[in-house]
Amino acid sequence: MKLFGLGKAGGPGAGRLAGGQGDEDSLQLGAPARELPNAFVLESPVPVWTRTFAITSWPRGAGALWESLLASQVAFRVRFLAAPSGFKWGRGMETRLRRLMANVESVRESDRAAAARPEEVLAIQAIRRIRDALLYRGLRPVDIWCLITVESDSPANLAADCAAVTAALASRGIEAEPLTFDQSPAWAATLPTGDPQLRGIHGLKPRTGIVTAAARAVPADTGMGGDGCGVYVGHDAEGRRPVMLDFRRESDELNSNALVFGASGEGKSTWLKAVAVTGMLLDGWRVIVLDVDGEYRGVCEAAGGTWVDLSGVTGRYPDPCRFADPSGDPEEDAARFDRLLAGIDDVMSVMLGIEGPELELERAVVEQEAAALLASSGVTRDDPATWSNDRLPRDFTLRAVFDRIERRGAAGDTWARAAAQRLWRYFKGSLAGLFERPLPMDRMPGRLVVLYLGNPRASSAEEAAIGVKYQLAVRAVWEWLRQNKARGEWTAVVVDEAQRAMQHPVLAANVVDVATTIRKWRGSLFLATNAPADLWGSGWGERLWGNSLYKVIFALERDQVDALARRVNLPPGVAQAIASQTGMKRAVIRDGGRGWIQVRLSLPDEELELYRTRRVHPGVPTEELARAEGDARGLRAGG
């Protein structure tokens, strides 16, 4: 909705609030105007200084707004803006309501003398009223904005008047947020409609209306309870205030990753599921989980996500023989053909399992044969119009590329023969079962995807095969990051059990790459480990720490605390807290700007239950799991 077609005020000291001549949409002003970061000056015969506030919260019952404004004895203008709302009651609101209720309950139980925080109780009431109105009374939601413009004749008077207004509002529990940008449009938005040819702000007739009628326009409830800016990460252990962290930080170039440290059983996975999965989804993000244990299955199902089982037994693997969907970024998209070839080449390189000049020559064979296969159905590097999955040869698979390499080798080509021999096990030998079912992953299948990777330390026979799958999975993740970014979406990547995931060279290298570049893709990485000292041992600690705006540290054993304190700057009190919060499910959180704070997630029982670790193979220890997977393959091959 275009309120006023205001021309841009050309910055401080210059500019006119005017559109083109004869443009009916525009507001024509005779007087020059100046826009300052937090005020707007209309240089009419008497300069008018204005500042506009948006009301961000008020208690039930709007009479207080008028009373406090009138009591403050300043000149002001109020404008309500209303529009039909797209708000729907859904799982997200249900979750928020349950969390709030659980927290209020837990305060009552833990300390009968302590009242629950009033704003949380109010938020619960507000959410329930909204729910009842929408679900049971069939009412329609409406979005309402309330802007208040204070006007004065000098900067000094403006400052005093604004202080009087905010104090008067605050005394009635109404919060008003000063607008710091776009003061001129904000100011204009508070003008009454119907007089686009404004002849000076003091020439306006006062509007006579009935206060109660206007008051009815004020929504009785605002704020959805802790839905401020960011994602709920726990309650402050001292103040019992909900703590929200902002992972978007649009203005920030820094990687806003979160590193999560803590001994086993201290609550890392619960935190990741509640914050990095549920919280980020509620905040509108897309979420990709790299799950080595299968323990994200429950939360994946509950959140309506897509579970992709890439573990050893299934024979499934992300298909590299497909074009990724275009992302909309011309430079990225110009490389789609090359990325397709490189994807096939990457996978085959891991299968070849060698290094040095030989690898280079055999890789060339792989790419030549893949390109030749593509060319056979007219898909060529030179013609981007042919880069579509519909045009791919029907049998364009890793196996088909291998068959061509094998034939070329049989025809006498030395490098093709060598490559075919090295690749043989994956296509005709014992590992063929691992690559039977290509999964198209050229676009992210939904808002939440859990890639169940299986155990990174399976038997050595499978090690290379597992590396191949990881490589493929990681390529899919990179493509999704690209595509989500192009759609203007934000993506969180979650890696739990990093002490194991990072033992795999393919995962480790890629996770560190994601950590250092994910900002470019509008994303955040969440990485949790129970052995932070190992990260420094393997040389990644510095890069992960340096690229993580947020550090979340649950209780750690003494030696881990000491090792960590040697590498990074932990204030003594923080090191002490980390060592002493054992068993309390508390974490100290370092927020880039705000310093350290101790928090604990307060979640309803049913949500906690949902996050409780339920492995895909309950109770089977890792070695046995690997053996079972081997057996399953044997059975299938035999039967």
283 binds, among ligand ADP, Mg ion, none (CB under 5 to 8 A by kind): none
Burial group, residue 284, by CB count within 10 angstroms (0-12, 13-18, 19+): exposed
Q: Residue 62 and residue 454: Cα distance in Å, rounded?
A: 57
| Nearest one of 129, 288, 311, 159 to 224, comparing CA atoms | 129
**Cβ-closest position to Mg ion:** 269
CB of 396 to ligand ADP, least distance (A): 42
Minimum distance, C-beta of residue 528 to Mg ion, in the bound complex (Å):
7
Out of Mg ion, ligand ADP, none, which partner does residue 612 contact, by CB within 5 to 8 A per kind? ligand ADP
Q: Select the residue interacting with ligand ADP from 600, 610, 625, 626 (CB under 6 A).
A: 600
585 binding partner (options Mg ion, ligand ADP, none; Cβ < 5 to 8 Å by kind): ligand ADP
Say which residue the tokens 């690559």 belong to.
435
Residues 243-272 vs ligand ADP: string with x where CB under 6 A? -------------------x-xxxxxxx--
Q: Work out how close the CB of 266 gets to ligand ADP at its nearest, in angstroms, rounded to a whole number.
A: 5
The nearer residue to ligand ADP, 612 or 627, going by C-beta atoms, is 612
Q: Does 608 bind ligand ADP (CB under 6 A)?
A: yes
* Shortest distance, position 496 Cβ to ligand ADP, whole Å: 7
Question: According to the binding rule CB under 6 A, does residue 560 interact with ligand ADP?
Answer: no
Which of 96, 117, 585, 590: binder of ligand ADP (CB under 6 A)? 585
Give the shortest CB-496-to-Mg ion separation in angstroms.
6
Give bridge partners of residue 437 from the DSSP assignment.
Answer: 316
Subset of residues 611 to 630 that bind ligand ADP, contact rule: CB under 6 A: 612-613
- Rounded to whole angstroms, the Cα distance separating 581 from 598 reads 10
| Closer residue to ligand ADP, CB minimum distance, 99 or 469 | 99
CA dihedral 564, 568, 571, 575 (to 10 degrees): -10
Compare residues 68 and 269 and give the one whose CB is closer to Mg ion.
269
- Please report, for residues 106, 117, 273, 380, the alpha-carbon distance to residue 102 in angstroms, rounded to integers and kept in the order given: 6, 12, 17, 59
How far apart (Å, rounded) are the C-alpha atoms in residues 240 and 629? 47
**Mode of pairing for the β-strands spanning 523-529 and 491-495:** parallel
Nearest distance in Å: CB 561, ligand ADP = 15
Q: Which does 359 bind (CB under 5 to 8 A by kind): Mg ion, ligand ADP, none?
A: none
Nearer to ligand ADP, 62 or 274 (CB): 274
Q: Based on CB atoms, which residue is closest to ligand ADP, 519 or 585?
A: 585
Amino acid found at 339: R
Residue number, 510 or 530, with CB nearest to ligand ADP: 530
Of ligand ADP, Mg ion, none, which one does residue 222 interact with (CB within 5 to 8 Å by kind)? Answer: none
Minimum CB distance to ligand ADP, residue 557 (Å): 13
- DSSP 8-class letter at 227: -
Interface residues toward Mg ion, by CB under 5 A = 268-269
How many residues sit in the footprint of ligand ADP (CB under 6 A)?
15
Question: Between residues 420 and 528, which has the closer beta carbon with respect to ligand ADP?
Answer: 528
Contact residues for 600 (Cβ-Cβ < 8 A; gap 6+)? 234, 235, 237, 584, 585, 586, 587
Q: How far is CA 38 from the centre of its chain?
A: 31
How would DSSP label each residue in 382-447?
T-GGG--GGGS-TT-SHHHHHHHHHHHHHTT-HHHHHHHHHHHHHHTSTTGGGGSEEE--SS--SS
Nearest approach in angstroms of CB 148 to ligand ADP is: 40
Separation between Cα atoms, residue 131 and residue 123, nearest integer Å: 12
Task: Report yes or no: 538 and 530 within 8 Å, Cβ to Cβ.
Answer: no
What does the alpha-carbon distance between residue 297 and residue 217 come to, in Å, rounded to a whole number?
A: 46
What amino acid occupies position 296?
A: Y
202 contacts which partner out of ligand ADP, Mg ion, none, CB within 5 to 8 A by kind?
none
Q: Which residues bind ligand ADP (CB under 6 A)?
A: 262, 264-270, 585, 600-601, 603, 608, 612-613
